[in-house]
Structure 1
Amino acid sequence: MTDLVKDSSDLAFMADVIEASKETPVVVDFWAPWCGPCKQLMPALERQVKAVGGKVKLVKINIDENPGVAGQLGVRSIPAVFAFKDGEPVDGFMGAQPESELSKFIARLSGDVDPKEEAETLVLRARDSLTAGDPGGAAQDFAQALQLDPESGSALAGLARVYLDMGNREMATEMVQNATGALSEHPEVASIRSELALGESAPEPDAPAQDDTELRDAEASVAADETNLNARLVFAKALAARGRRAEAVDHLIYSIGRNRMHDDEAARHFLLTIFEAEGPESEVSIDGRRRLSSILFA
Structure 2
Amino acid sequence: MNTLFNDAPGPQEAAPSAFIIDGTQANFMEEVIEASREMPVLVDFWATWCGPCKTLTPALERVINAQKGRVRLVKIDVDQNRELVAQLSRMGLPMQSVPTVVAFWQGQIADTFSGALPESEIKRFVEALLKIAGSSAPGEALITEAKALLDQGQPEQAAQYFAAALQEAKDKPEAWGGLVRAFLAIGEEHQAEQVLAQVPESIAEHAEVTGARAALTLAQEGRKAQAAMAGLESRLAANPDDHEARYDLATALNATGARAEAAAALLEIVKRDRAWNEDGARMQLLKFFEAWGMDDPATMTARRKLSTLLFS
1:106 aligns with 2:128: yes
Conservation of the 8 A alpha-carbon contact between 1:143 and 1:159: yes
Conservation of the 8 A alpha-carbon contact between 1:82 and 1:89: yes
The Cα of 1:247 is off from its aligned counterpart by 1.8
Residue identity in the other structure for 1:218:
L
Distance (Å, rounded) in 1 between the aligned partners of 2:185 and 2:308? 34
- Matching residue of 1:119: 139
Unpaired segments ≥5 residues, structure 1: 1-66, 205-210
Q: Out of 243, 249, 259, which is 2:273 matched to?
A: 259
The Cα of 1:291 is off from its aligned counterpart by 0.5
Q: Out of 196, 204, 225, which is 2:216 matched to?
A: 196
1:282 aligns with 2:296: yes
Secondary structure of 2:290's counterpart equals helix
Distance (Å, rounded) in 2 between the aligned partners of 1:230 and 1:81? 56
Give the percent of matched residue pairs that are identical in Structure 1 and Structure 2. Answer: 28
1:115-146 C-alpha deviation (Å, 9 max, x unpaired): xx531122112234445665454333211211
The Cα of 1:173 is off from its aligned counterpart by 2.0
1:220 aligns with 2:217: no
Map 1:1-298 onto structure 2 (within 5 A). 71=54, 74-75=57-58, 90=67, 93=73, 95-98=101-104, 105-106=127-128, 108=130, 113-114=135-136, 117-130=137-150, 135-203=155-223, 214-298=228-312
Distance (Å, rounded) in 2 between the aligned partners of 1:73 and 1:285? 50
Distance (Å, rounded) in 1 between the aligned partners of 2:154 and 2:263? 32
Distance (Å, rounded) in 2 between the aligned partners of 1:154 and 1:170? 20
Secondary structure of 2:220's counterpart equals coil
The Cα of 1:294 is off from its aligned counterpart by 0.7
Flag the 1:225–1:292 CA change in 2: closer, same or farther, 3 A.
same
Unpaired segments ≥5 residues, structure 2: 1-50, 75-100, 112-124
Larger radius of gyration: 1
Distance (Å, rounded) in 1 between the aligned partners of 2:62 and 2:193? 37
Residue identity in the other structure for 1:106:
A
Distance (Å, rounded) in 2 between the aligned partners of 1:293 and 1:156? 31
Flag the 1:71–1:212 CA change in 2: closer, same or farther, 3 A.
closer
- Matching residue of 1:61: none
1:178-232 C-alpha deviation (Å, 9 max, x unpaired): 324342222222222222222214459xxxxxx9662222222222222232332
The Cα of 1:269 is off from its aligned counterpart by 0.9
Conservation of the 8 A alpha-carbon contact between 1:256 and 1:267: yes
Distance (Å, rounded) in 2 between the aligned partners of 1:285 and 1:159? 21
Conservation of the 8 A alpha-carbon contact between 1:126 and 1:139: yes
Conservation of the 8 A alpha-carbon contact between 1:239 and 1:248: yes
Task: Using CA pairs under 8 Å that are at least 6 residues apart, name the structure with larger relative contact order, 1 or 2.
Answer: 2
Residue identity in the other structure for 1:217:
G
Distance (Å, rounded) in 1 between the aligned partners of 2:226 and 2:150? 32
Flag the 1:98–1:248 CA change in 2: closer, same or farther, 3 A.
closer
Conservation of the 8 A alpha-carbon contact between 1:199 and 1:242: no
